[in-house]
Structure 1
């Protein structure tokens, strides 16, 4: 870190330590019972939080929004160019991780939100693929069977590749 940056950091720390809480003027009923939290500014509480800015619990969801944005931008693509396996994986990821975010400690609502929207984008895209294939074949059962066959074949290919890699590694 440069000397200028270090001096800026040291000078700004004092300003954050001395910052007054906006709720102090309303009396004791809004104040925390924890003396350490009472003396910390909002920035310090965010910084030192178990899901704060200096943890992966903050940055992972921030970066994952790129997947949601990419999925939303794919809404303009024609349905025949969309990948069923990719969008199925996004749907499953969104559903599984949204639930998991409510189980883990600390609860990560930012991650739950991004995963919820990721699942929603995946469901919309899978629905678009289904409707497109239904319009080609004329019946919904044929479209569902075609999609099922594609997913099963893809899973079998992945399993075969994994088995081949294990065999190659053990030989």
Structure 2
């Protein structure tokens, strides 16, 4: 039989899907065509991409803002932790209240949005915790006798400044007249 006839006869066999689904070509129980496979574990590791590749291709991976925004936001958490060493009278209540609200609101939001960003939710949770600690410290200081005296002194100073501005304005009006 000439070689061209053999190839023509074999062509329909290779084209049909039944050739590849026959028992000899199926994988069952780690055996292919009656022989034991080398290792199914090595095949699984070859098929699964590495951690870096999965993070790179992830919707919240290294090449997205969903990764870098939380990483940069950790600076706010670290600054808040560093402020725990500062005296409470030097801290701003409005600033720390804003950080607390931001942390609490965005923690919830990060769990609702798609893709769910657990890294951003984590940093916002800790930002809220640090903010709650700082606001508590400020309010406790303001309620202490030392804090009340300092606030009264500050109010008296502001009153004196306002009075001086009023006097200055009246003197300027007299000079112009």
Match of 2:97?
A: 88
Q: 1:53 Cα deviation (Å)?
A: 0.3
- CA RMSD between the two structures: 2.5
Matched, 1:107 2:112: no
Match of 1:25?
A: 41
Q: Which residue among 76, 80, 85 is the counterpart of 1:67?
A: 76
Q: 1:43 Cα deviation (Å)?
A: 1.4
Match of 1:58?
A: 67
SS at match of 1:50: coil
* CA separation of 1:137 and 1:73: change in aligned 2, threshold 3 A: closer
Q: Is the 8 A contact 2:99 2:127 kept in 1?
A: yes
Higher helix share: 1
Distance in 2 between the 1:127 and 1:49 partners?
A: 39
Is there any run of 5+ residues in structure 1 with no aligned partner, and where? 1-23, 32-36, 140-145, 147-171
SS at match of 2:83: helix
Distance in 1 between the 2:130 and 2:147 partners?
A: 25
Distance in 1 between the 2:95 and 2:140 partners?
A: 17
Is there any run of 5+ residues in structure 2 with no aligned partner, and where? 1-39, 152-177
Q: Which residue among 45, 70, 79 is the counterpart of 2:88?
A: 79
Greater Rg over alpha carbons, structure = 2
The TM-score normalised by the length of structure 2 is 0.57
Distance in 2 between the 1:48 and 1:89 partners?
A: 34
Q: 1:138 Cα deviation (Å)?
A: 8.7
Task: Report how many aligned residue pairs link the two structures.
Answer: 110
Match of 1:127?
A: 136
Distance in 2 between the 1:138 and 1:95 partners?
A: 28
Q: Is the 8 A contact 2:141 2:147 kept in 1?
A: no
Distance in 2 between the 1:38 and 1:96 partners?
A: 40
